[in-house]
Structure 1
Amino acid sequence: MIILHNYFHTFPEFPPECEFKYAPENVSRFTEAMLSGNLRIIILSLFSFLGHYGVSIFVFVSGYGLSKCYDHSGESKWYIILRRAIQLWKWLVPMALLLILDRYSGYTHFTYAYLGNNKIWTDMLFMLTFTANGLADRFIIAGPWWYFGMAFLLYVIYALFLRKSSDKVLWGIIAGVWTLLIVLSSLGLDNWVFAFRYNSIGWLPVFCVGILLSRHPVYISWRWISLGVVLFVLSLFNRYLWVVSPILALFPVAAVLPLARKEPLQNVLLFMGKLSAALFVTHAFVRQQVLAHDQALPPEISGLLYLLLCIVVAWVYRLCLTCFYKKIHL
């Protein structure tokens, strides 16, 4: 979902997303696409405009998983932070080394056009220290890599402040962040909204919901799921509802969850889940090459080729790293 979104939103014929701020012009283009009557435009526009909500799912699952693993464990907060950093570095550092080698190879860059930028060393430092999200005016290295800095800061916030926090504190954080973003949006301070959504603060509500549902599992009836889906659709067209859309995006997922539990779809999702980290690290570089060499193909065909190449590259990358880390017992 995220992989295809990051591909199709590069095409001018499909509406870009409202991921970091509410953009009325993007919403208008999405509305036009949905009313076009062209099935091809509709399907690809859904990926382009809505695919970024996959990030909401990842953040929710992160909060849920951290709470399940560490709420009642004996590990220290610093152990949790270091362990999470190492898990991310194990995926990022090898690609960073490849990027640096390619930057000074003297040949056409096979990885990313960004490598012509002389700031590669400082940007690598920002990325590997998970501080790149402080540069809210630009994306560095690879656009999708902004997620790693945001996710790591959420891990730190959980370990230091949320692990032993009460439910009231979590609800207070959710309400506080929502209020902050709504006020900023109503004042037209979209740059501030962007900055918070580019960082961990803007994602705290859905992260906290993951923690809460881990502590207090609930059964949600189809009536409430249906209402949530309707509210999610409405949130796509309203500046203020958009603020809560990352949580509302959980309802469409809940609606299709029964299908995901059936084979063979369950096996496909489990396979893709194992590849998710490698896909996140590598897919931007695959996208760069497909966009450069397959301009003659229709977007839907090049998109399928891109998805297939992403899976193959991620599988090879994961296999190589898994074998290497086993060999050195890391």
Structure 2
Amino acid sequence: MKITQEMSLRMRGVAIILICLHNLLHLDSYVMECEFAFMDYRVHRLTRCFSFTSGTSVEFFFSFFGWYGVPLFMFMSGYGLATKYERPGVGLQVWPFLKRHFVKLWLLMAPAYLLFLVAEGWMNDYTPDIPTLISQLTLTHNFWDAEGIRPGVYWYFGLTMQFYIWYLLFYYLRSEKVLWTAFAVTLAVGEYFALSAPDSPTHFLLRHNSLLWLPVFLMGIWMSRHADHQLLRWMMRFRWVLAPVVTLLWVYTSVHVSIWVLSPLLAVILLLLLCGGNGRSRLFGYIGGISAGVFVCHPILRVFARPLIQQGYDKFWVCLVYTMACLFMAALYMRFVNRKLMSR
């Protein structure tokens, strides 16, 4: 199964809407997610909320499950790297590779980060200290103080740079044994911490760095290398039969600690099934095309949207206006970033 450009854009579009609304709605008054550690009390609260018919059920869904859009981008990073650099006749030079990807991430993140600091400073009197500022702008914040990353979604930039380094050192043109060994070991480490030390600082730090997210990244590499695999062709042929089954499995793994580490993998498989085939969705395709801009811009607009929800304004209209504003700002922002990248 080859992921076409149209399919990739649709998947990115769905994923970024999940992330965008999740980061607006995961407030203390809502059901918080289990992204970096499995918390039983959060699952129990989610169960209670969905036990009653309520207009807030959709909001609780985005608050608890919306973060599953993030693994999709991790998967696409692995898929994209293998597709681009493992073709016959395509070489990879270490320094140009690292420089190119660092500059792309930095040009995408840095201007938006400065805009966020202005907005956050104005609304909440936030001023980062010098070490925090330097570590964010050098994409190294994950290593030192993962909990202090602000805005929180920007942890993804440091993690992505780590993925590029991992790929270069260990996975570029390496054998399947290396891939599957790393996959199994990282799943086992994640399972150990999820069951025995979910609240430990070590687990929290590992979940904010690349190690415990490697299975999703490696799945992307494997799928790129085996696009014609019979299993993948069979999966897409029966995708509408499999989609409800995978949905149930995904939800089940999301709320059971013993198999929680599998939930990001199932979330990606579900998106592949839902966005696969030859169907067209211009809306999600367009959103996917500016998804990077939405990712970096939505924390800026969230600074202004969250107080409106906390003050009791209608949540539907706040979410709608916030989403439309994110798309508009992202479209303008990506025009600026693309000009900078093309001028290099």
Measure the CA separation in 1 of the matches of 2:276 and 2:171: 31
Per the alignment, residue 283 of structure 2 pairs with 268
Q: Give the alignment partner of residue 290 of structure 1, picking from 285, 305, 309.
A: 305
Tell me whether 1:237 sits opposite 2:255 in the alignment. Answer: yes
Per the alignment, residue 144 of structure 2 pairs with 135
Residue ranges of structure 1 left out of the alignment (5+ in a row): none
Name the CA shift for 1:155/1:113 in 2 (closer, same or farther; >3 Å): farther
Deviation at 1:251, TM superposition (A): 2.9
CA contact (8 A) 1:67 1:163 kept: yes
Deviations 1:147-192 (A, max 9, x none): 1111111111111211121111111111101111212222234323
Q: Figure out how many residues of one structure are paired with residues of the other and give that number.
A: 315
Name the CA shift for 1:196/1:325 in 2 (closer, same or farther; >3 Å): closer
Measure the CA separation in 2 of the matches of 1:177 and 1:47: 27
Instruction: Determine helix, strand or coil for the equivalent of 1:164.
Output: coil
Per the alignment, residue 193 of structure 1 pairs with 203
Instruction: Determine helix, strand or coil for the equivalent of 2:303.
Output: helix
Per the alignment, residue 125 of structure 1 pairs with 134
Q: TM (normalized to structure 1)?
A: 0.88
Superposed CA RMSD in Å reads 2.2
Deviation at 1:24, TM superposition (A): 0.7
Per the alignment, residue 13 of structure 2 pairs with none
Deviation at 1:258, TM superposition (A): 4.4
Per the alignment, residue 37 of structure 2 pairs with 21
Structure 1 counterpart of 2:166, one-letter code: I
Instruction: Determine helix, strand or coil for the equivalent of 2:24.
Output: helix
Deviation at 1:293, TM superposition (A): 4.4
Deviation at 1:236, TM superposition (A): 1.6
Tell me whether 1:159 sits opposite 2:168 in the alignment. Answer: yes
Per the alignment, residue 94 of structure 2 pairs with 77
Measure the CA separation in 1 of the matches of 2:340 and 2:183: 41
Measure the CA separation in 2 of the matches of 1:26 and 1:207: 27
Name the CA shift for 1:322/1:185 in 2 (closer, same or farther; >3 Å): closer
Deviations 1:15-74 (A, max 9, x none): 111001101111111111221111x22211111111100011110111000000012321
Deviations 1:210-266 (A, max 9, x none): 00010012221446555433321210221121111110112321332248x534x2x
CA contact (8 A) 1:33 1:42 kept: yes
Measure the CA separation in 2 of the matches of 1:207 and 1:190: 24
Per the alignment, residue 183 of structure 1 pairs with 192
Q: Which has the higher contact order (CA 8 A, sep 6+)?
A: 2
Name the CA shift for 1:274/1:125 in 2 (closer, same or farther; >3 Å): same
CA contact (8 A) 1:68 1:214 kept: yes
Deviations 1:92-112 (A, max 9, x none): 222344456x49xxxx944x6
Deviation at 1:306, TM superposition (A): 1.0
Correspondence list, 1:1-330, <5 A: 1-10=18-27, 12=29, 14-38=30-54, 40-72=55-87, 73-98=90-115, 102=118, 109-110=121-122, 113=124, 115-117=126-128, 119=129, 121-191=130-200, 192-217=202-227, 218-219=232-233, 220=235, 221-222=238-239, 225-258=243-276, 261-263=278-280, 265=281, 267-293=282-308, 295-324=311-340, 326=342, 329-330=343-344
Instruction: Determine helix, strand or coil for the equivalent of 1:115.
Output: coil
CA contact (8 A) 1:91 1:281 kept: yes
Name the CA shift for 1:324/1:71 in 2 (closer, same or farther; >3 Å): closer
Name the CA shift for 1:175/1:114 in 2 (closer, same or farther; >3 Å): farther
Name the CA shift for 1:115/1:252 in 2 (closer, same or farther; >3 Å): same
Instruction: Determine helix, strand or coil for the equivalent of 2:34.
Output: coil
Structure 2 counterpart of 1:95, one-letter code: A
Name the CA shift for 1:189/1:48 in 2 (closer, same or farther; >3 Å): closer
Instruction: Determine helix, strand or coil for the equivalent of 1:190.
Output: coil
Q: TM (normalized to structure 2)?
A: 0.84
Measure the CA separation in 1 of the matches of 2:284 and 2:155: 24
Residue ranges of structure 2 left out of the alignment (5+ in a row): 1-17
Measure the CA separation in 1 of the matches of 2:214 and 2:331: 31
